[in-house]
Structure 1
Amino acid sequence: MDDKSYKEYLHNITTFIFDVDGVLTDGTITLTTSGEMLRTMHTKDGFAMKTAIDAGFNVCIISGGSNEGVRKRLQGLGITDIYLGAHNKIEQLDEYLDIYNIKPEQVLYMGDDIPDFPVMKLVGLPCCPQDAVSEIKAISKYVSHKNGGKGCVRDVIEQVLKVQGKWNSNFDAKYD
């Protein structure tokens, strides 16, 4: 890993890619008697993703999970690139970058566990929540002070948008 501060990478980010379980959620799954798996997402993370999209950033989801409730929630925020049931995340990353002509160094990817490891080694700014596994923390250029499902996504999006001057300006235009 290089010696650059993670803040030096924030200027080049155009694209956010997030895992779901353990990043957008706290990793807990509640099982109903019918076998449905319920997850909880933080509204502040949702607000930040919507704000990033409105500010012209790319937002993509690559998750091994395949819950359609997750897809509906994310689509409701305006996210159109949602890869669920992704067991080889590199394939989805390569496809996504190719479709939109995005360079890996423009990508902030936030993951929390071993399935994210290969993809995080390929992007410009690998990040993780505070409660990520040690192997993921070791390769992350930034470890959020927030846990998965508790605002870690908001943390990284807000930092990037602030550095690029797109956080407050987005609100000024909407709320003037």
Structure 2
Amino acid sequence: MDDKSYKEYLSHITTFIFDVDGVLTDGTVTIMTNGDMLRRMNIKDGYALKTAKDAGFNICIISGGTNLGVQKRLEGLGITDIYLGAHHKINQYNDYLSNNNITPDQVLYMGDDIPDIPVMKLVGLATCPQDAAVEVKAISNYISHKFGGKGAVRDIIEQVMKVQDKWDGNFDAKYD
């Protein structure tokens, strides 16, 4: 799919589904002496997630990880559909679509590694960060110029919202 082709799908997107590690984070963990694993998330990605949620988009997170800090951060952004510990993501994906009356063509999924591929093959628009696994890049309709945890999520959310005339860029009154 060329650049023009993927952009034609942006107007149909009502639902964003994201992986966490390697998409909302840079895929690295800092392991503390007590065993806790720390992750870093990009504030601009968080802003875009909150803005999309506030604009009426469905936001869902499906991750194999189980970090409580990640869950708290996402809940703080208003995201309630969070599936952690999902090692076979297709099950959570199917449940989410069924429970929310969403069709696959309305879904944009961003993943970065092998466990994301089964879901990516089913959605309307499969996307990935620049530093995704080669196998993921091969099936993606759009590869962000941004790396995971470095603005890839913001990149694709902003594109969808701009095409749908929902990205204003002037949110002063809304976010004072």
TM range (shorter): over 0.9
1:5 aligns with 2:2: no
Farther-moved stretch of structure 1 (88-97 vs 165-174): 165-174
* Residue equivalent to 2:114: 114
* Residue equivalent to 2:69: 69
What SS does structure 2 have at the residue aligned with 1:174? coil
What SS does structure 2 have at the residue aligned with 1:16? strand
Q: Report % sequence identity.
A: 76
What SS does structure 2 have at the residue aligned with 1:158? helix
1:144 aligns with 2:144: yes
* 1:5 CA drift (Å): 1.1
* Residue equivalent to 1:134: 134
Unaligned runs of 5+ in 2: none
Give the partner amino acid of 1:27: G
For the 8 Å contact 1:127–1:142, the answer to whether it is kept is yes
* 1:3 CA drift (Å): 9.4
Inter-CA distance 139–38: structure 2 relative to 1 (3 Å threshold): same
* Residue equivalent to 2:37: 37
* Counterparts of 2:159 and 2:171, CA distance in 1: 15
TM-score normalised according to structure 2 size = 0.95
What SS does structure 2 have at the residue aligned with 1:108? strand
Give the partner amino acid of 2:48: A
Give the partner amino acid of 2:121: K
Inter-CA distance 80–175: structure 2 relative to 1 (3 Å threshold): closer
Q: Counterparts in 2 of 1:11-50, with a 5 A limit?
A: 11-50=11-50
What SS does structure 2 have at the residue aligned with 1:168? coil
Inter-CA distance 10–172: structure 2 relative to 1 (3 Å threshold): farther
Unaligned runs of 5+ in 1: none
For the 8 Å contact 1:51–1:170, the answer to whether it is kept is no
